[in-house]
Structure 1
Amino acid sequence: MNSSHQPDYSEYTIKWASLDWEKDEAYALRKRVFCDEQSLFEGDDLDQKDQTAQLLVALGGYGGWHERVVGTVRIHEESPGLWYGSRLAVDPSYRAHGNIGSTLIKLAVSSAHALGCQSFLATVQAQNEELFRRLHWHTLAQKMVYGRAHVSMEADLTFYPPCHTPFSGFVLRAKQRHEATELAPQLTGMLMANPLAGVRQRTVLQGV
């Protein structure tokens, strides 16, 4: 799709990827962000974790008709009860939406919580540490990854009730577009004053 003009969708569905086209577009988006835009990898960003990880996608669409992947993240269980999130990416044209990234994080942690997660970790670019703290994460350690400063962080599961319907997930209603703030490219627009505001559930979530 021509990146010079992207449609303003009426809603965005954040869910576990289930269809081949959703997965293909998620991998393509990761390549654009992590290889082409950030130059963190050459060729592609695929690794062994992708063989077992669960992909999540943010789908732009109209009235429940999904048209395009505009965001993605993946989760995997490292050991019983210990889960990780990684490869969070939002299409540059949709970073100003505000809640796509934060809702991907919400479903990532909440769906893992429903599967017995006792600890959910992620490695975050250092400039986004405060942003994740506002999403109820706390810092564990500092580290260098691919020559860039990162921090290991853990989500407070108290703020992420178990989601037992991840293939339905959450639906965001579209907002008026605005200029993106200066955060790391793949995370820009994740957070607003209330990071999870504007989220409605397509189905009633157990445990909420």
Structure 2
Amino acid sequence: MTALHAEHLTRWCELDYRSEPEFRIQWASDPWMDRQAYALRRRVFCEEQALFVADDRDDIDRDEPTTRNLVALSCLAGQADELVGTVRIHRAAPGIWWGSRLAVHAGWRQHRKLGSSLIRLAVTSAHALGCEDFLAHVQDQNVPLFQRLNWQVLETKVLHGHPHALMRADLAHYPPCTTPYAGFVLTGGRPS
């Protein structure tokens, strides 16, 4: 190969791997997204935290008309590459919505905005569906994050052997999102 040919190939194939990652935060829109969301939850809540023995799925997951998985997808060239986070929401009663099972892949937990973006879409999409009260049982170590996102602690309790806070979102800070399947794109914010 000539030096000129090698130089041409280098320029042609050069990619900038230093660019900031891009993520799509949306409602799960395909069965593979749900499968990967459940797998991530199992990894986090069963294997890492040992909150559940074999699986964290419950009756809420089986109530399809009122339950939705939300996902954070890393994107490569605009296409979903890997599921890196999830949270589920469900309507417990008219106007009453709950968020639960917030999980972020271990390699992305220090990302500055993944968890908060999943929380934001959870509340704003429920708000668009008539939510008047959005609640969650939040693990003790995550309470400061939720407080920064305009949630308040209502009470504390022990669930699955670990301290949790029952928290409520201030809906005034979460305008309704009427396009949850499109969701939004999050750029930048490399994990530290």
TM-score, with length taken from structure 2: 0.86
> 1:132 is matched with which residue?
146
- Distance in 2 separating the partners of 1:14 and 1:176: 16
| Contact 2:91–2:98 (8 Å) recurs in 1 | yes
Q: Is 1:151 equivalent to 2:177 in the alignment?
A: no
Q: Alignment identity in percent?
A: 53
| Contact 1:11–1:63 (8 Å) recurs in 2 | no
- Distance in 2 separating the partners of 1:95 and 1:148: 20
| Contact 1:84–1:121 (8 Å) recurs in 2 | yes
Name the amino acid aligned to 1:13: R
Structure 2: stretches of 5+ with no match in the other structure:
1-18
- Distance in 2 separating the partners of 1:126 and 1:175: 25
- Distance in 1 separating the partners of 2:145 and 2:57: 26
**Equivalent of 2:28, from 12, 17, 41?**
17
| Contact 2:113–2:189 (8 Å) recurs in 1 | no
My pick for the range that moved more, 156-165 or 128-137, is 128-137
- Distance in 2 separating the partners of 1:9 and 1:27: 27
Question: Which secondary structure does the structure 2 equivalent of 1:97 belong to?
Answer: coil
| Contact 1:114–1:164 (8 Å) recurs in 2 | yes
- Distance in 2 separating the partners of 1:9 and 1:51: 37
Name the amino acid aligned to 1:102: S
- Distance in 2 separating the partners of 1:81 and 1:104: 20
> 1:34 is matched with which residue?
45
Q: How does 1:39-188 map to 2 (within 5 A)?
A: 39-52=50-63, 53-178=67-192
- Greater C-alpha radius of gyration: 2
| Contact 2:111–2:190 (8 Å) recurs in 1 | yes
- Distance in 1 separating the partners of 2:145 and 2:40: 22
Q: Deviation string for 1:128-174 (max 9, x for gaps)?
A: 22221111000111111011111100000000000000000011113
| Contact 2:112–2:190 (8 Å) recurs in 1 | no
My pick for the range that moved more, 157-166 or 54-63, is 54-63
| Contact 1:9–1:62 (8 Å) recurs in 2 | no
Higher fraction of helix: 2
Please list every run of at least 4 consecutive aligned residues from structure 1 whose deviation after the TM superposition is greater than 2 angstroms: 174-177
For the aligned residues, what is the CA RMSD? 1.2
Deviation for aligned residue 1:10: 2.6
